[in-house]
Structure 1
């Protein structure tokens, strides 16, 4: 069994390498819920994720003989970077198996630490199977991303830092993929304060651990699909489930839309670049999946290695949902001056045109017509309503897209 003493030993191993990441109050969330809500910013950790803690502790505890044979890991990205960094630190070879769809930023991060990368499979579990086969064939040491005592102990050091700063904390809210993070945090936190509540958060597209927690037996997900690739784990590990059943008080789920909202909120209001998995705990607070009213709560921001393309999509959709951007398909008469007349309406309404496309060849158009696809910067729902009313008054046919 892993104990708080193991976690304190791990903390000693990590002292010279791992950052004691900032833990700061989230003023807007705190005010909204009449609570003290803190963010533990593991997105600011070396390698951009908490995963460095467990990987470094595991490799630090290997014998020189095992290190010399080289290490192998499977990961959606963050564990891979933790293993690669740690292997480079100790001078051993690392081979990392990653799903084919892993964001480029994570693949590049792993390679930058000198590790060999093998892209294979549609998800973590398929990459894991390939890595285990490779490990046996080449007699190398496997560094499991979550089902390993040294890894779990390393992740648990986060709780030691949290409770050192806020000893009277009431709840810690933690994202769950494989379960190593919440297992380590729960063991450490409950050992220090048995009354503290540990709440897990899964993505709706990777619900295996939540279903297993409810049934009290491993139930693997049929399929996994979520923007939170760091917690996109299909299969439930019995070892981790047993720890979670003993130490975790509740598990909730959040949708991809809710995760995206939290990514945008943390970027805009807290100036934090956070990946989907890293935003899951905050999403659970924002969308009232957990009761945080009149409490002291810590949300774990587990990582910040988000693909720039995904971040761009989240920002764009967030702007549309918050009525700060408006996309319209408008039918115009195809004659000189028509576009100028249309743009004058937007000018008079105070809307800024940011993108425009012109189509006069669509078979859906009558002869003498053209389609304009236009993107506008707007100032809220009332502003968009005003623009649509002006278009109607001037006889334009349009569709909001």
Structure 2
């Protein structure tokens, strides 16, 4: 069944299209994490994906699909100060197409350098979220580029959903998946595919404090209706207040109404646990997923829900400026 124009088969086709270029990321377990959570935790290691995050999946699927659809595609443009920008730069390089990435001037140099390293042309803009959209719009019109947004795009969502195909093949017994959410591309794709494979599986969203996502899921209305806004959080990968026009109805239908809102200190604790006990480097957005897995809310849920998937969405953290 299609969800707002995205069917399970679109996810299957996306995996067929991108699998030769991406990693099938491993799943880690950790006895100490299980003891702390009171559940069996299975960590999907998207921090080991190409470009260091799950974003490579959606970006590559969208780029390859656009190249097929458009007879003369002169290149791509997007806006991102982090993972999506790197993913689009890499995906465009794979497809042999130019890529322009609009980045705020104050973005960390380590992120700008990574985007350039994948061959993209960096275009700096102002600090406000709207500045990104304005710069992208100008470039798109001037150079006739194809715009691939970070999350609210059918092919991007289908690409992110390929995680569920892998994860449920690796751990068929999963009862639930914890997914960090910003605009909702990752969580929408995961929910579409996971529910198609295993209808009784639960998909829980993980957010920083203040996103009001639970209210959104219960009302069906986006958590913020004005210009784009950012939450004040160290988890820069999931700081967007809004979910998308495409992703919101998908999540309203498929995600669980209970949302894990995590505090900043818990995000840091999740990151530190991964660094120290699991010996892996994850970014703060992935630390939020670990924090949810250790939360009192999860412990209080149905005890028969024993096998929990945890999406470690990325590892692009500036090791010279860790949040502690």
- Give 2:239's aligned residue: 232
- Give 2:28's aligned residue: 24
Q: Pairwise mapping of residues 2-401 of structure 1 onto structure 2 (< 5 A)?
A: 2-63=6-67, 65=70, 68-122=73-127, 124=129, 126-204=131-209, 207=211, 209-220=213-224, 223-249=230-256, 250-291=258-299, 293=303, 295-311=306-322, 313-314=323-324
**CA shift in 2, pair 1:146/1:224, >3 Å:** same
Structure 2: tracts of 5 or more residues without a match: none
| Deviation by residue 1:109-155 (Cα, 9 ceiling, x = unmatched) | 11001101123233655423431332133321001111111100100
| Deviation by residue 1:78-111 (Cα, 9 ceiling, x = unmatched) | 0111100011111111000123343332221110
- Give 1:345's aligned residue: none
Q: Is the Cα contact below 8 Å between 2:37 and 2:294 reproduced in 1? A: no
**CA shift in 2, pair 1:8/1:123, >3 Å:** farther
Q: For the residues of structure 1 that align with 2:125 and 2:238, how far apart are their CA atoms? A: 18
Structure 1: tracts of 5 or more residues without a match: 315-401
Larger RCO, structure (CA 8 Å, separation 6 or more):
2
Q: For the residues of structure 2 that align with 1:123 and 1:222, how far apart are their CA atoms? A: 9
Q: Is the Cα contact below 8 Å between 2:37 and 2:295 reproduced in 1? A: no
SS for the counterpart of 2:259 is strand
How much has 1:210 moved relative to structure 2? 4.2
Give the TM-score, by structure 1 length.
Answer: 0.74
Q: For the residues of structure 2 that align with 1:254 and 1:82, how far apart are their CA atoms? A: 27
Please provide the CA RMSD for this pair: 1.9
| Deviation by residue 1:176-225 (Cα, 9 ceiling, x = unmatched) | 001000000000000011100000011125x1544422432123175522
Q: For the residues of structure 2 that align with 1:123 and 1:234, how far apart are their CA atoms? A: 14
Look at both structures and tell me which one has the larger radius of gyration over its CA atoms. 1
Q: Is the Cα contact below 8 Å between 1:76 and 1:230 reproduced in 2? A: no
How much has 1:55 moved relative to structure 2? 0.2
Q: Is the Cα contact below 8 Å between 2:11 and 2:158 reproduced in 1? A: yes
Q: Is the Cα contact below 8 Å between 1:75 and 1:97 reproduced in 2? A: yes
**CA shift in 2, pair 1:95/1:67, >3 Å:** farther
